[in-house]
Amino acid sequence: MHIYVPSVGAHHSLGIQPICAAQHSIAGEVMQDSAAIISVRQLTKVFRVGSEKVVALNDVSFDVPKGQILCIVGTSGSGKSTLLNQLAGLEKPTKGQVLIGGKNISAFSETRLAGFRQKHIGFIFQSYNLMAAMTALENVSMPLIFRGMPRKKREIAAKRILGEVGLSERAGHKPSQMSGGQQQRVGIARAFVATPKIIFADEPTGNLDTRTTVEVMQMMIRLCKQYNQTLVLVTHDTEIAEYADRIVTMRDGVIVEDRVNVKRAEETKEETNPGAGEKGAKDET
Amino acid sequence: MRISDLLSICARNLTRRKFRTFLTVMGVVIGTSFIVMMISLGIGIERSNMRMLETWGDLTMVTIHNQGNTETPLNDTAIEAIRAMPQVQAVTPVAELRLDNVNVVLTAGRGGRYEWWGGWGIVGLDPAALPYLGYDMREGDILPVNEDGTRVVRMMFGERAAYNFQDTRRRWPNNMIEVWNVMPGDPLPDPFFNPMEEQTIRITLSSWEQDSRDVEFEVEVVGVMVGSWDFNRPELMDGAVMDVADLQRMIAEFNRANSIRPDRNAVEGFDMARVKAHSIDDVADVEAAIHAMGFPNTQSMEEIRQSMQEAAQQIQMILGFIGGVALFISSLSIMNTMIMSVYERTREIGVMKVLGCHLGNIRSIFLIEAALIGFIGGVVGNALSALASFALNAYVMGNAGGGMMGMGMEPMPVSVIPLWLMSLGLVFATIIGLVSGIIPALRAVKISALEAIRTE
Ligand SMILES: Nc1ncnc2c1ncn2[C@@H]1O[C@H](COP(=O)(O)OP(=O)(O)OP(=O)(O)O)[C@@H](O)[C@H]1O
Ligand SMILES: [Mg+2]
């Protein structure tokens, strides 16, 4: 189900990802950029509440190619978060598979999943989830601390990414000393600091006002495009969805619509690969 | 994660809730200092028991009493057999200058002015054994082995032997110098003469019987011993020590001079012998071996030492148990604190899991935090017990100047904290912390990554 591969060729060389050169290999295997980085196969998730069964995901299948910005939209309770949790390996599916870089992460042990997330996944939360006792710099460093990176090296990386989200001056501030928008920018920096292959975000702008939402969204998109990272974003705000390359709409645990955001695609192509727009549009069908 | 990062995260978590950490640490402090203090009191009791026994006598000494034993004579052969035992360091017969109907008189001074009647407390020992038997000299030398064949009778005097002499030219009470009420270590008055310098000391054996002939020997005092209230060795204070060979020679000469034939039916051999074991632990074995040789009547500090040691150990166990209970309670408090902390940090743990923190690291964080509480409690607890021990000792020793503790004993510390006890306290407290952290750490590991997503 190869729909559209945006900006292929411009951003996938090794040299562009300076912090973690091993990014191209997931679980020891070199991945091919053009192949789907995420493959969802007949994914079903059923919750049991007492004697009742809630089918949160019902036989969902789709592929996400590398470098795509995918937005999952839908009404409340449609199963967006549930889907995202399965993709990030936070929860085991009832049936089906989630393949990331060809590996069935649904079959991974907890320990292996932790290592997998550490190496390849970034996560942005709706409620920021920063460590209250830590400064912005330390919060951003967390994923690198988990990797056992030495202090000096990780602080250089953390400072650089804090600069990219425009918070150099706030490096020494605690979360309680920052606005929601600033906190979410710290959260974004934390998700990107280790240059993971894939970033998941569940309602990242859910707690922000319109102006800040625009700021935060643009920042995420910019960072993703910069290193050709894949972003899977959950929201119920259709305006936000317009930032994505592709929009998947869910209802009652099934995908009811899966479309390419043509407007965005045109923009991207013009930015990254002027003159190749015609060809990309043909690929789409 | 690096160890340094783990430690700094733990330290940060502990300082985040300072008062709660302080209270939990206090529990460990009390527990540790309790157990350390209790054991230290036990050690103090054991040590002062040992010291007390030592002032009563040498703890490695066994005295054989063989008077009236007609079956097994304590003769040279028997002495040699005892000497051959591997645990025996030295052995000497103990002979007293005692014969039926014979008077012993020592005289000194010009014209024999000073007289010591009776000669009680003068014993004949084997000079070869003396260096092992704990004879400390106040003046002069220890009694040497007679190598030059001199017929002069060499003696070492007890600390107060010189005061046994009375001045025959003076009247009572000025004819004696009383020293019985002088405490050990206190200065003694000058005796009538200094036995070390006196040239004319003689010892005379005489009998009341008519036509009896006295025998007289010249005496050289080679040294004066340090006195002690060792009940087994009265010679140290009021008596004197001479070569057992000299003593036998004196008796033989007296018998020859008065044509006395030794009673053929009399038991040959010595009435007494002293056996010195290599160490305290050998005493029981040596005593048993001597019993097996046919000398049932022995005496040593072993039995009393063992019973005192048992009593001290029992006290130590009881005190240690009380301390253990205190530490156990503090471990419950550590566990409670850590479980609370896991509960509070549920979301944080979830976030860490989402960010890819390994389960082992999460487990380590909680274990290290708990162990740190134990460790800090152990350090402070040690410091506190050292302080308490110091204060207690200062108080007790300050109050025990004289009185009961007299009798040649300096006051002993009641609480002794050796280095091993300190380290034991510290290690124990840390382990208690670590063990208390196991359940909370396992709970932390079980927390789902989804806790991070959940919105309150
Ligand atoms: N742990 C759970 N136990 C039982 N039911 C659950 C659980 N998690 C989700 N569900 C149910 O699964 C369905 C999908 O929930 P999900 O959170 O994925 O919705 P959503 O699309 O993210 O909604 P929202 O936009 O409100 O966040 C809902 O009906 C929900 O009640
Ligand atoms: Mg949701």
pLDDT one-digit tens code per residue, B26-38: 999 999 998 898 8
Assess whether B120 and B176 both reside in one domain.
yes
Assess whether B115 and B86 both reside in one domain.
yes
By residue range, what is the domain housing residue B85? 60-300
One-character DSSP codes across A64-130: EETT-EEEEEESTTSSHHHHHHHHTTSS--SEEEEEETTEEGGG--HHHHHHHHHHHEEEE-TT---
For residue A234, the ligand 1 atom closest to its alpha carbon is 22
pLDDT value for B409: 52
Assess whether B269 and B362 both reside in one domain.
no
Ligand 1 binding pocket includes A74 (Cβ within 6 Å):
yes
Task: Give the phi and the psi of residue B219 in degrees, each rounded to 5.
Answer: -120, 135
Assess whether B39 and B180 both reside in one domain.
no
Q: Which residue is closest to B16 within chain A, CA to CA? A: A133
ipTM for the assembly: 0.82
How far apart are alpha carbons B252 and B97 in whole angstroms? 12
Assess whether B292 and B393 both reside in one domain.
no
Ligand 1 binding pocket includes A54 (Cβ within 6 Å):
yes
| Percent of chain B clearing pLDDT 90 (strictly above) | 49
Q: For residues A10 and B88, which has the higher predicted lDDT (pLDDT)?
A: B88
Task: Kindly list the distances between the CA atom of residue A138 and the CA atoms of A17, A155, A156, in Å, as whole numbers in the listed order.
Answer: 22, 8, 12
Question: Ligand 1 centroid vs A185 CA: distance in angstroms?
Answer: 26
Beta-carbon contacts below 8 Å between A and B: 71
pLDDT one-digit tens code per residue, A162-207: 999 999 999 999 999 999 999 999 999 999 999 999 999 999 998 8
Number of domains in chain B: 2
Q: Are residues B356 and A91, on separate chains, in Cβ contact within 8 Å? A: no
For residue A49, the ligand 1 atom closest to its alpha carbon is 4
Question: Ligand 2 centroid vs B91 CA: distance in angstroms?
Answer: 95
Q: Tell how many helices (H) and how many strands (E) occur in chain B.
A: 10, 13
For ligand 1, atom 6, the nearest C-alpha belongs to A47
Residue B285: pLDDT above 50? yes
Place of tokens 């003593």: B247
Closest-lying ligand to the alpha carbon of A202?
2
- At a CB cut-off of 8 Å and minimum separation 6, what does B49 contact? B305, B308, B309, B312
Question: Ligand 1 centroid vs A76 CA: distance in angstroms?
Answer: 8
Best of A51, A80, A91, A234 for a ligand 1 pocket test (most atoms within 8 Å of beta carbon): A80
**Could you tell me how far CA A46 lies from the centroid of its own chain?**
24
Domain ranges of chain A: 10-276
- Give B357-361's long-range contacts (Cβ < 8 A, gap of 24+): B357/A114, B357/A118, B357/A146, B357/B1, B358/A111, B358/A114, B358/A115, B358/A118, B358/A146, B358/B1, B359/A110, B359/A111, B359/A114, B359/B445, B360/A111, B361/A146, B361/B1, B361/B6
Q: Are residues A146 and B453, on separate chains, in Cβ contact within 8 Å? A: no
Using a CB-CB cut-off of 8 Å, the residues of chain A touching B359 are 110-111, 114
For residue A78, the ligand 1 atom closest to its alpha carbon is 21
- Give the best residue of A45, A82, A105, A117 to mutate against chain B (max B CB count within 10 A): A117
Ligand 1 binding pocket includes A72 (Cβ within 6 Å):
no
| Percent of chain A clearing pLDDT 70 (strictly above) | 81
pLDDT one-digit tens code per residue, A242-254: 889 999 999 999 9
Angle between helices B18-56 and B419-436 (to 10 degrees): 150
Q: Are residues B455 and A131, on separate chains, in Cβ contact within 8 Å? A: no
Last residue of a domain, one of B267, B300, B333: B300
Amino acid of residue B420: W
How far apart are alpha carbons B136 and B142 in whole angstroms? 8
DSSP-assigned letter for residue B209: S
Minimum-distance CB partner of B348 among A131, A145, A146:
A131
Mean pLDDT of A37-52: 93
Task: Give the phi and the psi of residue B134 in degrees, each rounded to 5.
Answer: 75, 50
Ligand 1 binding pocket includes A19 (Cβ within 6 Å):
no
pLDDT one-digit tens code per residue, B112-147: 899 998 878 899 999 999 999 888 898 899 999 988
Which of A32-41, B67-76, B329-338, B402-411 is predicted least confidently? B402-411
Q: Are residues A133 and B361, on separate chains, in Cβ contact within 8 Å? A: no
Contact B42, B320 (CB under 8 A): yes
Q: Are residues A110 and B356, on separate chains, in Cβ contact within 8 Å? A: no
pTM: 0.71
Ligand 1 binding pocket includes A92 (Cβ within 6 Å):
no
For ligand 1, atom 16, the nearest C-alpha belongs to A79
Assess whether B120 and B172 both reside in one domain.
yes
Residue A24: pLDDT above 70? no
H or E segment at A141? helix A136-146
- Give the best residue of B355, B362, B446, B454 to mutate against chain A (max A CB count within 10 A): B355
Q: Cis peptide before A143, with omega less than 30 degrees from 0? A: no
Strands B272-277 and B88-96: antiparallel
Task: Give the phi and the psi of residue B103 in degrees, each rounded to 5.
Answer: -100, 140
Using a CB-CB cut-off of 8 Å, the residues of chain B touching A90 are 354, 448-450, 453
pLDDT value for A268: 65
Residue B169: pLDDT above 60? yes
Q: Which residue is closest to B13 within chain A, CA to CA? A: A133
Task: Give the phi and the psi of residue B391 in degrees, each rounded to 5.
Answer: -65, -45
Please classify residue B322 by burial: count the beta carbons closer than 10 Å to its beta carbon, then call 0-12 exposed, 13-18 middle and 19+ buried: middle
Contact B366, B342 (CB under 8 A): yes
Ligand 1 binding pocket includes A126 (Cβ within 6 Å):
no
Contact B273, B94 (CB under 8 A): yes
Q: Which residue is closest to B351 within chain A, CA to CA? A: A129
Q: Are residues A88 and B359, on separate chains, in Cβ contact within 8 Å? A: no
How far apart are alpha carbons A224 and A214 in whole angstroms? 15
Mean predicted lDDT score pLDDT of chain A = 83
Ligand 1 binding pocket includes A56 (Cβ within 6 Å):
yes
How far apart are alpha carbons A123 and A201 in whole angstroms? 6
Question: Ligand 2 centroid vs A86 CA: distance in angstroms?
Answer: 13
Q: From chain B, which residues contact A within 8 Å (Cβ)?
A: 1-2, 4-5, 12-13, 16, 347-348, 351-361, 448-450, 452-453, 455
pLDDT one-digit tens code per residue, B33-61: 988 988 888 888 888 887 877 777 778 88
Assess whether B272 and B410 both reside in one domain.
no
pLDDT one-digit tens code per residue, B250-272: 988 998 898 887 776 666 788 89
Domain A10-276 is found in CATH 3.40.50.300: yes
DSSP-assigned letter for residue A252: T
Assess whether B285 and B397 both reside in one domain.
no
How far apart are alpha carbons A205 and B347 in whole angstroms? 20
Ligand 1 binding pocket includes A77 (Cβ within 6 Å):
yes
Which of A210-214, B23-27, B307-311, B400-404 is predicted least confidently? B400-404
For ligand 1, atom 5, the nearest C-alpha belongs to A47
Assess whether B109 and B157 both reside in one domain.
yes
Assess whether B203 and B286 both reside in one domain.
yes
pLDDT value for A1: 45
Which residues have a beta carbon within 5 Å of ligand 2, which is an ion? Answer: A 81
Amino acid of residue A129: N
Ligand 1 binding pocket includes A45 (Cβ within 6 Å):
no
Mean pLDDT of A69-95: 93
> For chain B, how big is the Rg over CA atoms in Å?
35
Best of A46, A47, A254 for a ligand 1 pocket test (most atoms within 8 Å of beta carbon): A47
Tokens at residue A267, please?
């923009």
pLDDT one-digit tens code per residue, B226-255: 888 777 788 888 899 999 999 989 988 998
Ligand 1 binding pocket includes A49 (Cβ within 6 Å):
yes
Q: Are residues A88 and B361, on separate chains, in Cβ contact within 8 Å? A: no
Minimum-distance CB partner of A146 among B1, B13, B452:
B1
Assess whether B445 and B342 both reside in one domain.
yes
Assess whether B202 and B109 both reside in one domain.
yes
